[in-house]
Amino acid sequence: MDESTNVLAWPTSPGHVTVKPLSAKSPCKVWLIRRESDQMYLTLKLSLTMENITSLRQEEVRQSRKYVVDFYGTLPTQFGEGLVMEYCPGGSLADLVSSRSAFALGECVTALAPIAQTLSVMHSQGQRHGDLSPANILLTAKGMPKIIDFQEAASSSQALTGSGTPGFVAPEMQAGAMESQAGEQDVYSLGACLWFLLSGRVPEEELMRPPASVMFPGIPSIIHELLIDSMNPVPQARPTVDQFARTLFASCPAEPIHWEGHVAAEATHLMETIHPTQESGAAHRRSKRARDNAARQRNSGNDESWHSHRLRRTPGAVKLAGAAVLGIMVILGSMLGVNHFRAAEAKEATAPAMAPPADLDCRIMDGAQVPACALNRDTVVSAFLALSRERDKAMGQLAGEKLKRLYTPGAEQLQRDLETIDQLLDLGLGLEGLRTKLTDVVVSARGQGDTVILAATSTQEEYRYVDAEGVTMHTVQAAEPQRIEVEMVLEESGWKIGKVLRR
């Protein structure tokens, strides 16, 4: 079963929750995890030759660690040891170009000059990267580039036949030729990366490639020469990576990489780079022929609005007025239970598929034989929506015993709901019209054991407090939508609500 749908097929490790796969490949080897102690996001990579990577990371590139993805050791999972490293929420340069268009020259300076300096340190120590490409250059939260994927790294005496990313591999690598000087093949890859960032496409083979001056008429001739020299089919004719970095720095002032609107929605809040607002007008894609002169625009954020509960005036009878005051007290207490859910994100299209199943085909009849459909993502979300509806119904009926069947034993939210019911019974009040609308429901993380974390948008619709005769004592206005995260725990009888998580 595909990891994207089988929520219990995700790797787990003590003290961490698994947030999502970071690769579309199946089986996925790269995952986003979150450390529970400090809520720090990390990347977990499975099935690697980690001894070589760790050795390279700690020794060969120690002097330039600022531009190399940090490695934090290993974590045990049910699938074996996994390598834990820094999470770069900006994604790769390849993804960014695919999303927004080619780079301006100033952005290329920011993206590639530090990488060239890092490679210079490696080359001085007789090491090369071996698989440099835009997909292996990531952006940190500050918009700073970092290189990754050193499993192809090797010394200059080792041949790497056929390795590397197509389009960014030096022609001599395909024949397994040795380097006369460490780093010649990395220089070719750097030149190919620069070509890709400026044009938005992978460079063709030499005979099919248009002249740099024709392809990029709006950039300095020094960059034309750099592209030609870097991708020269004769390795000895290429510049060093240090010369590559110096030439880039001399060609144009560095500019912040324009990532707004092109980073994954769930990672945008982690990014720190702020770009100043430029000339107004609709946002547009940069021209490939004049990228370094294109205008930039930053979208302004929406103002936040605040919503408060408003009391409806009631008849002047002392009894009703007193009951209204008590009702306000109940509201203050019940807000912990009635409108407590928070969430993260997903797709509206998910909701129609979440209707609770009419039959019980996915009911777990035997704890040792869990049907596959019980682990399916859609089944978990459907169970959550059904449990939420049952919770609203039980709260409206003031039925504590029904609530207990919806939660895991000792769940904090269950205790709050039961306390709310006790308060309402003591005051002789009931609830009418209680409905919680849940949309954008998604599996946001995998916890320990048989635990899955769901994220959703929760909207509390208008409801009323009524007395024994059904007279409305207080109306609670519909609340603003809010994001929530809720634990779902798989027990022998099926899925139950566990903790309600806050960020």
CATH number of domain containing 118? 1.10.510.10
**DSSP annotation of 58:** I
d(CA 42, CA 39): 9
The verdict on 137 and 271 lying in the same domain is yes
Give yes or no for residue 155 having a pLDDT over 70. no
Spatial distance between the Cα atoms of 430 and 315, rounded to a whole number of angstroms:
19
If asked whether residues 149 and 76 sit together in one domain, one would say no
Predicted pLDDT of residue 65:
65
Residue 304 in any domain: the answer is no
Q: What's the pLDDT at 48?
A: 55
**What is the Cα–Cα distance from 24 to 4, expressed in whole angstroms?**
9
Task: Select from 260, 256, 259, 298 the least CA-distant residue to 278.
Answer: 298
Instruction: State the average pLDDT over residues 416-441.
Output: 92
The answer to whether 133 and 189 are in contact (CB under 8 A) is yes
| 373 — pLDDT class (breaks 50, 70, 90) | low
Phi–psi pair at 261, nearest 5 degrees:
85, 0
> Nearest CA to 324 among 241, 428, 435, 221?
428
Residue 60 and residue 117 in one domain: no
Decide which of 60, 86, 112 is a domain's last residue. 86
Q: What is the per-residue pLDDT for 234?
A: 92
Q: Amino acid identity, residue 347?
A: K
Pair (67, 110) in one structural domain: no
The number of distinct structural domains making up the chain is 3
- Give the pLDDT of residue 273: 58
Q: Among residues 225, 259, 293, which one ends one of the domains?
A: 293
Sorting pLDDT into bands at 50, 70 and 90, what band is 4? low
pLDDT at 415: 93
Q: Is residue 472 part of a domain?
A: yes
Q: Half-sphere exposure (CA, 13 Å, Cβ side) for 312? A: 15
What CA–CA distance (Å, rounded) separates 32 from 161? 32
Residue 199 one-letter amino acid: S
Mean pLDDT across 482-488: 91
Q: How confident is the model at residue 210 (pLDDT cuts 50, 70, 90)?
A: very high
Residues 257 and 152 in one domain: yes
**Boundary residue ending a domain (61, 86, 111):** 86
**Site of tokens 């099935």:** 47
pLDDT digits (tens, 9 = 90+) for 53-79: 444 444 444 455 688 888 888 899 988
Question: What's the rounded mean pLDDT across residues 447-452?
Answer: 84
Q: What single-letter amino acid sits at 124?
A: S
CA atoms within 13 A on the CB side of 491: 13
The verdict on whether omega for the bond into residue 27 sits within 30 degrees of 0, i.e. cis, is: yes
Reported pTM: 0.65
Whether 298 maps to a domain, the answer reads no
Model confidence at 3, in pLDDT bands (50, 70, 90)?
A: low
Whether pLDDT at 28 is above 60: yes
Are 371 and 410 within one domain? yes
| pLDDT exceeds cutoff 50 at 284 | no
**307 is a domain residue:** no
Rounded distance between C-alpha atoms, residue 313 and residue 299, angstroms = 43
CATH of the domain at 14: 3.30.200.20
Q: Assess whether 254 and 349 both reside in one domain.
A: no
Question: pLDDT tens digits for 86-103?
Answer: 999 999 999 999 999 999
Average pLDDT (335-343) is 44
Give the CA distances from residue 180 to residues 156, 165, 168, 236, 321, in Å, rounded to whole numbers and listed in that order. Answer: 8, 22, 19, 8, 92
Whole-number Å distance between alpha carbons of 284 and 293: 13
Between residues 251 and 349, which one has the greater pLDDT? 251
Predicted pLDDT of residue 290: 41
Does some domain include residue 340? yes
Per the structure, the complete domain to which residue 462 belongs is given by 318-501
Q: Residue 220: is its pLDDT beyond 50?
A: yes
Residue 451 domain-assigned (yes or no): yes
Share of the chain above pLDDT 90, in %: 43
200 and 54 fall within a common domain: no
- CATH number of domain containing 328: 3.10.450.50
- 117 and 266 part of one domain: yes
* pLDDT number for residue 264: 78
- Flag whether 232 is in a domain: yes
348-to-138, 379, 442 alpha-carbon distances in Å: 30, 16, 10
E-assigned strands of 53-136? Answer: 71-77, 80-86, 127-128
Residues 32, 397: Cα–Cα separation, whole Å: 42
Edge-to-edge strand list for the sheet holding 430-432: 430-432, 463-466, 472-476
Same domain, 414 and 433: yes
Residues 137 and 227 in one domain: yes
| Shared domain check, 195 and 101 | yes
Instruction: Look at residue 306 and tell me if it is in a domain.
Output: no
Query: What number is the average pLDDT over the span 276-296?
Result: 39
- Better-scored residue on pLDDT, 378 or 161: 378
